[in-house]
Every structure is written in structure tokens, then in C-alpha cells.
């Protein structure tokens, strides 16, 4: 075992493997430490690298994110796509993602396996089923980490730089409850089960700063009471079409502009009573948005049919009047919801500006029966709170200074997104590459 590599990477997901592979390509010996029995993390469940096409769009979509991190993501995105292709993994042609993004489809499983191979073929090592107990500190700098191997043996690995890329804290309900707010611990986990906040705990123990409070998380709406059977359900059960439907809380009121994005609506619902609501679509929404693939090239899934088969709270109303007969035990007032939809239809048909909340991107009435009802709840993929870094991926102290020897990338970091989102894989790869470059510059 190599106990003194050039670079130590804690976390074998998209960000960590990118950093390790890039450093390996540059002649560095990298050690990757992964707590689970395989590399890849939640990156294996994805399929697109995307973000916004310009700084102006980033500012519009994510006005409160860290300025330097936003600029770095946009400016370094094309280089990240070029890097993927340089590994031999095909990145498809540019395509539109959501209403504001651009990106490329690619085989994320092939990518993480390729990065692992680059590391090992360059003389590095990947340690699986290995936990990191603490960071080593000497002469005011992080100098490596103390690890527990699957055999139980404890070893110390020392390196010039250490990268934290453990994937966030979404798999720890207690940390979610503490850092994301009351009720967050009960949300379904739309992610790998191993990202339990190790990066956050390790770094804060050596003085790292965290942020941003109230920034929210990335996730999607899913049918309430329908558990995920496997990782394929993370996409199949996500109700992306909510951007064109209407969502009502337990007070029988709309509370968010659904058209701004299912990922934002998900955060908004998490803050509503009992974090559940009724998502209602009509025939047009089902035909145009519920059944077709969310992005070009993805598999089409009838979300309503799937939720119904899996025992979710669903209902089919042949008219608005039938909404009055929602099951009483669900806790909603069907008559009030019917009246709210009728009022909404009247307002948007007349083109009045009084619709509250607004409908910025799809002010079309829901007036084509039948009506498809699914009770929904938020599911979390990863949090937006995390370690504060600068645009060189250096972890910062509470005083705003970089911690020598300590870098971070991916969902372990905070500051980039603040109740907004435009590409998790893009951020992971961009700042993974940035961490590798900073390592070379400081070696």
C-alpha cells in the first residue's frame, strides 16, 4: 500500500474520481478512498452534464450564489466536456436542458470506471470499503488522513494535498434535520446511501467554514408513500412535469410558481405543512409533459400510471366537479381546490396579472379533462449547504483564508447554489478538475 501519494482523494464519486484521474494524467500518484464497496456514488444514476450557457443566464437563475464560483462553472464548462471526451467517453451533441440550460448526454458509468482505470494504471490506488477517521494536520496544514481499512487496520496516509469529495450529507437524516430544517430528515433519499456528511465532519474539525444557511437542496417531487425500489426509480418516479401542473398544499392553496422548475418547487413543498401536496394535471399536460421523456434521449414513463400501480395516492377526475370527491382521509378540501383551479383558469384565460403565485413560463389553463391527481412529497438528491471553497477549490476557514493542503469538490461544497440549480455533474467535474489543477500548482 502506498502511504505517501502525491494526492489523497476522499470520496470516489464523480468529483473525486475526476480530480484523481486528472492528477494522474499529469504524472501524480493519487490515492482514492471510498467508503462503499464500489466507486461512482450518485454519479452512476445520472446521464447529462449541463449548466447555463452564459454568466447572464446564471445570474438570472441563481442570483444569490457565490459570484466567483458561478463564473468559474460557466467559464470552465466547455473544458470539462473536452476532458470527458479526452478519456475516451463520448459526450453527445449539445442539447437544451430545462428552459434555460445546455448540456451533453454521456455514459456516466463508463466515465467513472474509466477514471478509476486511469488512476490505477498511472500507479495510484483505490481503497474500497474504507472509512476516513480524521484529517492529519501538521505545521498548520492538512497533511493527509487516518483511515480504517475493511480489515479493521488503521493506517495513516500522508499527501501534499487532500481533496474532500464524499458527496454531501443527504444520507444522514439527523444532519438533514439540523442543517436543512425541521422535517428534512424524513424526506425520501433520491441518492446513494453512503453520502453521510463525512467531508463536512472531517473539514469542520480542522476549522473549515460552511454555508449557506437556507440555501435549500436539489431534488424532485415524487409520489408520496411510494418507496424507491432501486436507483432506476430515482428518475422514473420523479414528477418532472410539475412545471406545467398545479400544486396545492394542505391549506388547498397554490404557494409557488410551479413553472420555474420542479427542483425549485420541491424545495418550496418541503417548507409546507407536512411537506406534502396535491399535484394536478389535465389531459394536455399528461399528453405533452407527463408521458414524454423529460429530456431528449431519455426513456418515456407514464408517471401517473406508475404511481397508481405502486400504490400512491392518485385519482382520475373526468371533470373539475369530480375533484370535490377527493378521499376525506387525504386531508384536502376538494371543493376548495376545484374553485381554485376554476379561478386560475379564468385569470390566465383573461390574461389578468393578478394570478398569485404567478405562472412565468406556462400560463395555460388546466381545462382539458380528465384531471390527473397525485399526492406528492419532496425527495432529496443532495444539499446546497456545505464546505465553503474559493474558485480554486481550496477549503476556506471561518476567517476567509484557505486551509493549506485541503481542497473540496462536488456536493461536499456550499456557496455555488442558493435556492437555485443548474447542473450537479457539471459542478462536480469542473471543480474536480480545478482541485487537480490547484494541487499541481501547490505541489
Distances, alpha carbon 255 to alpha carbons 157, 252, 354, 405, in Å: 51, 9, 14, 45
Looking at residue 136, its pLDDT comes to 98
Per-10-residue mean pLDDT of the chain, 443 residues long, equals 95 98 98 97 92 97 97 98 98 92 96 98 98 96 98 98 98 96 95 96 98 92 96 94 97 96 95 97 96 78 95 97 96 97 92 76 94 98 97 96 98 97 97 98 89
Looking at residue 316, its pLDDT comes to 97
Residue 386 near residue 411, CB atoms below 8 Å? yes
Looking at residue 427, its pLDDT comes to 98
- Asked if the domains at 7-213+384-442 and 219-379 fall in one CATH topology, the answer is no
Count of C-beta atoms within a 10 Å radius of residue 441: 9
Looking at residue 350, its pLDDT comes to 85
What are the boundaries of each domain within the chain?
Answer: 7-213+384-442, 219-379
Torsion sign over Cα 52, 56, 58, 61: negative
Looking at residue 281, its pLDDT comes to 98
CATH of domain 7-213+384-442: 3.50.50.60
Looking at residue 353, its pLDDT comes to 55
Pick the CATH number of 219-379 from 3.40.50.300, 2.40.50.100, 3.40.640.10, 3.90.700.10: 3.90.700.10
Amino acid at each position: 500500500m502506498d502511504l505517501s501519494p502525491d494526492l489523497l482523494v476522499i470520496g470516489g464519486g464523480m468529483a473525486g474520481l475526476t480530480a484523481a484521474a486528472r492528477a494522474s494524467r499529469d504524472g501524480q500518484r493519487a490515492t482514492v478512498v471510498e467508503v462503499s464497496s464500489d466507486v461512482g456514488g450518485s454519479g452512476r444514476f445520472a446521464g447529462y452534464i449541463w449548466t447555463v450557457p452564459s454568466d447572464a443566464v446564471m445570474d438570472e437563475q441563481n442570483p444569490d450564489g457565490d459570484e466567483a464560483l458561478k463564473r468559474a462553472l460557466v467559464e470552465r464548462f466547455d473544458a470539462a466536456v473536452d476532458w470527458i471526451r479526452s478519456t475516451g467517453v463520448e459526450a453527445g451533441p449539445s442539447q437544451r436542458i430545462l428552459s434555460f440550460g445546455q448540456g451533453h448526454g454521456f455514459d456516466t458509468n463508463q466515465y467513472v470506471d474509466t477514471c478509476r482505470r486511469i488512476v490505477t494504471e498511472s500507479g495510484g490506488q483505490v481503497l474500497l470499503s474504507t472509512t476516513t477517521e480524521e484529517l492529519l494536520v501538521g505545521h498548520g496544514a492538512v497533511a493527509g488522513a487516518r483511515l480504517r481499512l475493511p480489515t479493521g487496520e488503521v493506517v495513516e496516509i500522508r499527501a501534499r494535498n487532500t481533496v474532500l469529495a464524499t458527496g454531501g450529507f443527504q444520507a444522514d437524516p439527523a444532519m438533514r434535520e439540523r442543517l436543512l430544517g425541521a422535517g428534512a430528515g424524513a424526506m425520501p433519499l433520491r441518492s446513494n446511501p453512503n453520502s453521510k456528511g463525512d467531508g463536512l465532519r472531517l473539514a469542520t474539525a480542522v476549522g473549515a467554514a460552511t454555508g449557506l444557511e437556507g440555501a435549500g437542496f436539489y431534488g424532485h417531487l415524487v409520489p408520496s408513500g411510494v418507496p424507491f425500489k432501486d436507483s432506476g426509480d430515482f428518475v422514473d418516479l420523479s414528477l418532472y412535469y410539475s412545471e406545467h401542473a398545479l400544486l396545492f398544499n394542505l391549506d388547498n392553496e397554490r404557494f409557488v410558481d410551479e413553472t420555474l422548475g420542479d427542483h425549485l418547487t420541491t424545495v418550496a413543498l418541503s417548507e409546507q405543512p407536512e411537506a406534502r401536496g396535491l399535484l394536478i394535471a389535465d389531459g394536455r399536460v399528461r399528453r405533452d409533459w407527463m408521458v414524454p421523456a423529460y429530456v431528449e434521449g431519455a426513456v418515456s414513463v407514464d408517471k401517473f400510471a406508475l404511481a397508481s400501480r405502486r400504490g400512491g395516492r392518485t385519482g382520475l377526475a373526468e371533470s373539475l366537479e369530480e375533484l370535490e370527491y377527493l378521499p376525506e382521509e387525504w386531508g384536502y378540501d376538494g371543493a376548495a381546490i376545484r374553485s381554485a383551479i376554476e379561478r386560475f383558469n379564468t385569470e390566465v384565460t383573461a390574461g389578468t396579472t393578478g394570478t398569485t403565485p404567478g405562472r412565468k413560463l406556462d400560463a395555460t389553463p388546466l381545462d382539458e379533462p380528465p384531471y390527473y391527481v397525485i399526492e406528492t412529497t419532496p425527495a432529496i438528491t443532495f444539499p446546497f449547504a456545505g464546505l465553503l471553497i474559493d474558485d480554486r477549490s481550496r477549503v476556506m476557514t471561518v476567517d476567509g483564508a484557505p486551509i493549506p493542503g485541503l481542497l473540496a469538490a462536488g456536493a461536499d461544497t456550499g456557496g455555488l447554489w442558493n435556492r437555485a440549480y443548474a447542473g450537479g455533474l457539471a459542478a462536480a467535474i469542473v471543480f474536480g478538475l480545478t482541485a487537480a489543477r490547484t494541487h499541481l500548482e501547490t505541489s
